[in-house]
Every structure is written in structure tokens, then in C-alpha cells.
Amino acid sequence: MRQTGELGEESADVQVEASLRSHQTIRPLRMARSPLGEAWRARAGASAALVTAALLMSACADASSTTGDAASAPSTQTSTAAKAVSNNDSALTAKSQLNVGLAANATSAANTANTAASSTDLPASTARPTLELAKAKQLAAEQSVAARVPSASGMTEKRSRPLTLRDSGIDGSMLFARDVDFRVTGDIGFMIHDMAATLTPTRAGQPIVFDDPTAVTINVHRGEVTLDSARLTAIFDRYLFQYQGSPLRNMRVVPQDGGTLRITGEMHRDTWVPIVLTGSLSMRNVDDLVFHADHVEVAGVGADKLMQAAHVKMADLLKVDTPIARLEGDDVVMQVAKLTPPPALRMTITKIDTSAAGVRFMLDDHTVQKIDWPATMPPRGMLVQGGDVKFMRSIPMNIDMALTPIDTNAPFVFDLYHYRDQMAAGYFTFDEAGALDVHLPSYTTLASAMKDVPMQTGSASARFNDSFIRAQQASLAQARLVWQQVPQTVRTASVARAIPVGTRAAFSGRSMATPGSAISDERHSSGPAPLIHVENVDFYVSGRIGFHVRSLDAQMVPKKPGQPVDLDDPDQYDIRIIGGEVIEPWPAMAALFNDYLLDYEPRSLNDLQLKPVDGKLEVTGGIKLWNHFPGVWLPTTMSGTIMAKDERHLVYAPTSVKVLGVPQAGLLRALDIPLASLTPFTRKGVALKGNELVFDQYTVFPPPVLEGRLASATVTDEGLVLKFKRDGSVAAARPPVGAGKSFVWIESGDVKMFNSLVTNARTFIRDSSNPGVMKFDLYGYRRDVAKGTVRMEEDGGLEVDLAARK
């Protein structure tokens, strides 16, 4: 016989059980299991359940407002029976009082029993919990943003392919810029006063790649730009004529008031001879920009009259015939689209104003009547909307990205070939809808810009300075090896090799045909599905539901192979636990029940609270018999053990059950009535089976599914400690050195966060404002990240700081 103690009900239970065994009303329960016996058993079970119901209803008779005058006498009588049991009265007294109660309720009991018996066959509501519905609504709103077709200032991009997790289906992007000193590289570039343009990838279906300027064309629709003396000199001296065998060198271009340019340098005539050209710029047609020399000096001597008398043209003195510029008579004819290194510029120059401040070009292809700035356009900077744009590892899809200066009072210099240096020195901010602001320092303020860049010379075969693009593509190839590298410890496939694109191929729009090499798919990476390591984090799935992670390794696996993991869609992927230990705090476990598992009607349990008592778990709350009978919640207390049944399931086995303070466990055992028949409870991930509450660790939490091999479950004051067996067949992520005491680290695979796809992810999440335990909310990560900042490391990795920015 079990010891009495906290279970003070045991002595009463034993007496009641012994008495009831001899009572004729339950004899059918002990009949042989013949068909007739089974029929009697079913009817007797309903009668026995009614006994318990009578006890429970009588105990709450005084509190129930639904008790009418007609039921008052039976309630009093059955209340006496309940008191007899709870006060350890003799079994005979309890039995006689029960008979009185049953007789008094004979008529209503039949109807109640029939209703109760049928109720136990009804499944729990299959409606999705409010929490899941709210997440689905949020996801639908986010997907509507991702599915939008961008349009602004008379410009519209079209969706030519289906929207997927890797592809917005839109090839082009709209670009707006104002008050930006835009450099392709070094001093080569122009001051943008205002501009509306379209960015178009040279390879359909691939994103625009900031790191590969050969992969995009800039189609300017409307705007105004200026080339000052430094920009013009850089174009002529460092790009057009800085190649082996060039007939010109040491060029300097000075714009002058009155609409003229003065170009000085040296021309090669057996030796290097000083030359000065003065003239003007004009458009020959939409493609060709012409510099016409009105005055020529050679070695300090005016040569105009001599050349006229001798019928000599500049083309007779110099041989200039390159892919960008050629000398025709006294005219230097330049192709507008190739005046700077890639990306290719398609622009229609409608007006040219030359002054000492520089050469100002008015651009208009007559497709945009005027520039109407979008609402998210920064006062100074650039805005890119629509299509997919890749920088380093990240691809914002159907992008809405503003690039703005950190210092709003200084000139904003953006260097395309060195943008990675600027991004690594700046930071990102998101809004919850996915719009991205990139805050950048001006390139000229960075230490890397201060280094002396040696003068590079282009190849003789190119006949222009192709060293810029060669160096840029070599840098890109090295960077790609870093971005695509998968650590040996987690490698499952070889990493695709990236190679630079040849300059000539860049101009023709073709990739260089190098044996054994290929441009990798920008939207995919090799390696396993994303690995995640969580260290000392309060990890919430949603709201109050979650657990404290002491240390956990896991893998996020998309349900459809080949897809990236979409953090916004918890039904799209599973979390497979590799090993570790977590604590389920009791308030969080109560929230799991009250906010999620019990979010349906009609239900049998309500407002559960949990606490540890002497190594056992005590659960208090309300119950209704058969989900609805009686019409009030009956205060209930259960106490028992919780343990890992196997590697997947947890079992809570109450050894004590009290309703309104009345012990019931012994009575239910005596009547052979499992708790599940009185309070049926079956939901996804948890079910009351017999007298045990069985949890499916995989599905008891809101999505995503958590798959792990349970090693043990221990009740502690902190919460339920769950330990998971380590899966040696799956490599774990390796957090960076010096990661700290509380963080989330995501490594390898492709992950979609906000509207951005991160390939071969390396994402570090922390909270710099919290020296203790970081809180991370999976369903609310957009909200939390939108309050903080994101930095992009030099290797393309992301550092997400949840600390609220000032």
C-alpha cells in the first residue's frame, strides 16, 4: 500500500475502492468479456462516470449559478457523499450516500450519461490556433510585399518569371540618385545632381551583381551630371589613353568658362612632344560624343595656320583608334556608353554646358517626363527598387534599398569598385516590411582610399586601360572563393569556382571561355542545409512560448530539398536537433498550454499553471467533464512525474488528482475509469491517453517542427530540463572565435531573412545592450531586427545586433 502524505487522499481512496468492489451497481464492470459483458461494461462505465460527475457537481453546487431549485436537493445529498469520502468516513457510509445521490438524480442522469458518452467520441477542434493564424496573416502580408510590381516616376518593371524563394521574377531595377559623387573607381566617375535610370542584368534570370559591373547595364532615362576637371582628367589620362603603345600620355583636361576644354599632354613623335588642344564638346549622334580641336599647340608653338596651310589634320599626326575613342580629322570621337569602365552606360545627352565648374550633361531619353522621387528616397544618396540585387553573399529580392551617407554634412562619395570597403565600414537598418537602408561613410574618408594606388597600364591589345576591370575581376574572384568556401567540417559538395570575366568579353556581354571554369549560379550555394548554434539564449518561438537554451546545435532543413530556409515561414522548414540542452521554464510551459494547445472550443482544460514540488510537477487549472459538463470550470490540482518515454515523447503521469480539493485518483481507479474518458484532450503534439499526458516533442510547439533525440527530462526549479542525444552523423556549426556568452550563429546553406536571400550564410546574432542572456523571438525577428542594426563583414557575413539603435 502506498504511503500517505501529500497524497492524503490515498487512505480514503483505498476504502472507497474496497467498498465499491462489493457493490452491485458496478458488478457488470467485472463480468467476463463476452459481447453481453462488453455491453454491460459500456453502460456501467457511463454510470460510473456519472458517479464521479455527481461527486464533482455536488462539490461545486454552492458556487455554480446554473444550479436550479429542482436540483438543489440532489446536490445536497451528493455533497454529503463527497464529504464522506474526503473526510475518510467509512466505506459503508460513502456507499449509502452515493446510492442516495444516484436515486435522486436517476431521471436526469440517464440523459446526462448519454450526452457524456457521445461527447467522448468527439475529436478536439481542428481549427488552427490564433497564434498560427496570426503568423499566417503576417506571412501573407510579407508575401504581398514580395510579390509587388515596382513602379515609380513613370518607370515600371515587369515580372517575367514566377516568384520563388530565390527569384523575384523581375530582371531590372529602378535607380534614383541625387547629390552623389558617383565613382566607378578612383576619380573616374561623375557628380550626379539627379538621375532616374534602370539597371538591367546582362544575363537574364540572374540578379544584378554589385561585385561584377560587367553583369549590368545602366540605362539612364533622365538626369543631370557634371564632370569636373579631376573626373575628365581621370577619364582621358587614366582610362582612354593609359595603355601600352598609346600615342598620348600625361593628359590633363581643364574645363573653361565660355564652353571650351583645354587638354594638355604629350604626343609621341619619335619622342614625347608637349601638345595643347583647345576645343569644345558636342554630340554627333545619340551614341558619339565629339571633342573638336579649334586650337593646337605643339611644343609651345601654335600650329593652327601651319596645319591649315599644309592641309594636315590631327589624325595625320596621331594614330588613335581604340574600342572607345578614335581620331577623325581634328575630332576625337568617343562612345558615350564606354567612356568609363563597366558597367555600361546607356544615356542620351540632350544638352552640354561647359564652364570652369565642369561639363554639365543633361540626360533625357524621353521616357520619363520628370523625376517624381519615391517616398523612401533619401535627401542625398541612391535608391534601388525592384528586381534582385546581390552584394557579397546577400540578395535583397524585389529590392527596396536606400544608400545614404552617415555624415549628412559632407560630400557623399560612392565608389562602385570599392563598395565592399564602404559597406564593411557602415551599417544596415531594416523596416519590418523589408525595406533596407544602407548607411555608408564617404569612400574618401576610409583608410583604404588613402593608400597610394600605383599607376596601372592597360594592355597593348586592348588599346585602353583594361587594368581597372582586370584588377576588379581578380578581386571578385578571390572574394567569391571566400563567400563560397564551405568549411571542411561541414562540406558535402565541392564549391563552384568563380573566375574573372575578360574585359573584351565584358564589352560583348559574354563570359570568358576558360577551360574548366564557369560563373557560378548567383542564387545558390553548395554545402549542407543551414546549421545553427544557440548559446545561452532565451529562444522564443512566439510570444511567451519558448525555452532557455543552454547550448544547442541544430540544422534548419527545408521541407522541399533545394529550397532555401525561409525564416518567415515556419511551416516551410524543420529544425533537426544535433545535440544540446534546453530548459523549458514553467511560465513558458504554461503559455504553451494556455496560448496554444488550449486555444480551441469546446475544451476540457483551462488556465493551467505549473510549478515543481518536491521533484514532481504540480499542475493547477480548471476542467470540464467531457469538454462541456458541467458548465463551469472545476478547480483541479494534479501532481505527478514527467519523464522521457522514448527519444521522441514525454509523459506526465499524475499520481494525485484533486477536484475542488476532493481526491479523485483512487475513485477513478476503483471505477476503472481513465482520466482521458472524463476529460478528453487530444491536440497536435499532446494527448491525454488513459491517465497519462503524452507530449510529442516534435510537434507540441508551434511550427517549425523540432526533431531531436531525447536523452532525459528532469523537473527542476528553473523548469523542465531536456537533454538531447548528439547525432554524430551531422557536423555542427562552429561559431567564430570570441563570439561571447549569448548569441545565435547560422552557418552554411541558403537562408531567406526579410526579403533577402543570403547564400552560404554566415550570420551572427547578438544583443550588445544586454550583458546577460539575449532574447530571440523567431516569429518576431523582423520586429526585433528592425529596432537594431546589421553590419556586413569584409567576408560578406552578417552581424545582427538587436540592441535598439539610438
Q: Which of 381-395, 481-495, 647-661 has the lowest mean pLDDT?
A: 481-495
pLDDT at residue 305, as a whole number:
87
**What's the rounded Cα separation, in Å, for the pair 761 and 776?**
18
- Strand, coil or helix: 487: coil
Structure confidence at residue 563 as a pLDDT band (50, 70, 90): very high
The model's pLDDT over 228-259, given as tens digits with 9 standing for 90+, comes to: 999 999 999 999 999 999 999 999 999 999 99
Identity of the amino acid at 190? F
User: Beta partners for 798?
Assistant: 763, 792
21-35, 312-326, 395-409: which is most confident:
395-409
The model's pLDDT over 657-670, given as tens digits with 9 standing for 90+, comes to: 888 777 766 656 66
Dihedral sign for Cα atoms in the order 66, 67, 71, 76:
positive
Kindly report each contact of residues 141-150 with a partner whose C-beta sits within 8 Å and lies 24 or more positions away, as own/partner.
Answer: 142/433, 142/434, 142/568, 142/755, 142/782, 145/398, 145/433, 145/434, 145/755, 146/397, 146/398, 146/434, 146/755, 147/398, 148/398, 149/386, 150/174, 150/385, 150/386, 150/387, 150/398, 150/400
pLDDT at residue 39, as a whole number:
37
Structure confidence at residue 311 as a pLDDT band (50, 70, 90): confident
**What's the rounded Cα separation, in Å, for the pair 318 and 246?**
10
Structure confidence at residue 306 as a pLDDT band (50, 70, 90): confident
**What's the rounded Cα separation, in Å, for the pair 710 and 137?**
33
26 vs 779: which has the higher pLDDT: 779
The domains of the chain are located at 9-119, 150-227+368-445, 229-356, 531-730+732-787
Cβ proximity of 427 and 803 under 8 Å: no
Return phi, psi of residue 99, to 5°.
Answer: -60, -40
